[in-house]
Structure formats: C-alpha cells, structure tokens
Amino acid sequence: MSATTVSSTLVPTEGRIGLRGNLRHIGALIRRNLLWIRQDPESMFDAVLFPVVFCLLFVFVFGGAIAGTDNRHAYVNYVVPGLMAMMGMNIAQGVGTGFNEDFHKGVMDRFRSLPISRSSVLIAKITVEIGRMLVATAILLAVGFMLGLSVSNVPGLFAAIGLSVVFGFGVMWIFLTLGVVMKSAQSVQAMGFLVLMPLQFGSSIFAPTKTMPGWLQAFTDYNPLSSLADAARGLMNGGPIAHDVLLTLAWSAVLTLVMAPIAIRKFSNKT
C-alpha cells in the first residue's frame, strides 16, 4: 500500500467526515481549550478585568463631563450597553493573537496529524471565546448594577446579550483570519488596534453622536458598533430598535458569510 493511500486512510478529508464526527471533534477541541484555560488562568484576565476597568474608568472619569456630575446614573445606563458591544470586539481580538501563538507553539502541527476537519478547530476556538465573552458581559453587568444600572425590560437584556454574541461571532472570523495570515501575535494585536480604535471611539458607545462633526456622524451612522450599542440600549430600557437590530444582524451575517470561508481556506492551506 502506498504512503499516499495510508495517509488518506488515516487522515480523511473534511468532506468524508459526517456531522456526528464533526460534532465529536468540536467537543473534544472545546474540552482541550477549556483545560488549557484551567492550566493558564491568566488567560482569563482580559475577560475578568477589562469589564471592571472600562466600566469604572468611563463612568467616573468621563461620566461627569458627558452627563454632568448630578446625572452620572443616567450615564451608567447609557455606557454599559455600549460597553457590551466593546467587550465582544476586545475578546475577538484575543482570538487572533491566541490562534497565531498556537501556530508558533506547534499545536497546529499536532492537529494536522489528526483525522479531524479543519473547520472544527476554528469553530471550537470560537465557541470557547464566546463563553469568555459571556463571562466578560456578566461581570460588566454586575459592575453596572452596583453603579446603578437599571433595566426596565429583562427579556430585552437577554436579547441584547444574544445580539452582542451574534455580532462577536462574526467579528471573530476576521481575527481568526488575521491570526492565520499575520507573522506574529504582536502584528495581529497591532492590526487589531488599528481596526478597533476608530470603530470604538467613532461610535455611540461612549457619547451621543449629535455633538460630532457631520463627516464623523456619517461614519457613525454606518458603524456596526453604534448600531449594536443603540440596539442594546433600546432592548434594555426601551426605544426604537428595529433599524439598529436589523443593521447589526446584517453586519453579523455579512462578516460571517464572507470571512468564515476565507478563514477556513487560509487555515487549511497553512496547515
């Protein structure tokens, strides 16, 4: 039997792996990632500390200037839903850097030798990162409630969390692609900051956009983070939501449909 035949027998292609096999592989890889987090709890620092730091920083440093010192409670209700959108972007950036490090540590060489589908590696990574995103969101909301956050629509709160997860899922495919194509984790992080900073601060996350110059308002109108933040505010405490929810879902669908095949193809070619 030739080496080629042996290789194709031991390592089937993704098309020959059924749904049950793919789910089994994804479950095993999720468990592997969770075990790694347990062995390296410092990897959770961003999900645990960022929500606390950002919430306290913006409420007490900028809240008085934006909403007035006597109206800081209103700013808590404004900024916390926006920070939910920001958490998803920050966690997504960590997906790319961690994935790039796995290449340099030889982890992907091990996966290449296993009879698993290439997409299962990416999906397992995203699933675990969504779990970290939910942890960060829960901590953010806990801090927000301690600072006076009020929610008039509890089902709307869970809908806002779900919408943030859907959008974060789409964004993660971008950073997975960067994690594959960039040469180092530092370059992934630098590229991430170049993408994140304009999106985060050129949005309605931290302040209303009505005081911004006209050209910047035009940018914020199509910024998906503005749509997600405004949708979360409307879902949690009332207000118009249809346009912002639909726009956020549209952005999420486009990012996933465009970037997921690219990420899987780049990963398959590199490994």
Helix axes 224-237, 214-222, angle to 10 degrees: 70
pLDDT at 7 over 70: no
- The arithmetic mean of pLDDT across residues 174-197, rounded, is 85
Taking CA atoms, 178 is separated from 89, 155, 169, 185, in Å, by: 14, 35, 15, 9
The DSSP string of 160-184 is: HHHHHHHHHHHHHHHHHHHHHHSSS
pLDDT given for residue 156 in this prediction: 93
Q: At 218, list the tokens.
A: 């035009």
pTM of the predicted model, to two decimals? 0.83
pLDDT at 268 over 80: no
pLDDT given for residue 183 in this prediction: 83
- The arithmetic mean of pLDDT across residues 182-209, rounded, is 84
CA dist., res. 187 & res. 139, Å (int): 29
pLDDT in tens, 105-117: 777 667 666 667 7
If one counts every other C-beta atom within 10 angstroms of the C-beta of residue 246, the result is: 12
Q: What angle do CA 250, 253, 257 make, to 5 degrees?
A: 140
Residue among 21, 35, 26 at smallest CA distance from 123? 26
pLDDT given for residue 74 in this prediction: 82
Q: Which residue's structure tokens are 């600072």? A: 147
Reduced to 3 states, what is the DSSP secondary structure of residue 241? Answer: coil
Phi, psi of 13 (to 5 degrees): -75, 165
pLDDT given for residue 137 in this prediction: 93
pLDDT given for residue 6 in this prediction: 31
pLDDT in tens, 118-143: 778 888 888 988 999 999 999 999 99
Q: How confident is the model at residue 23 (pLDDT cuts 50, 70, 90)?
A: confident
pLDDT at 266 over 70: yes
Reduced to 3 states, what is the DSSP secondary structure of residue 228? Answer: helix
CA dist., res. 64 & res. 138, Å (int): 25
pLDDT in tens, 215-255: 888 888 888 999 999 999 999 988 888 999 999 999 999 99
pLDDT given for residue 187 in this prediction: 86
pLDDT given for residue 38 in this prediction: 83
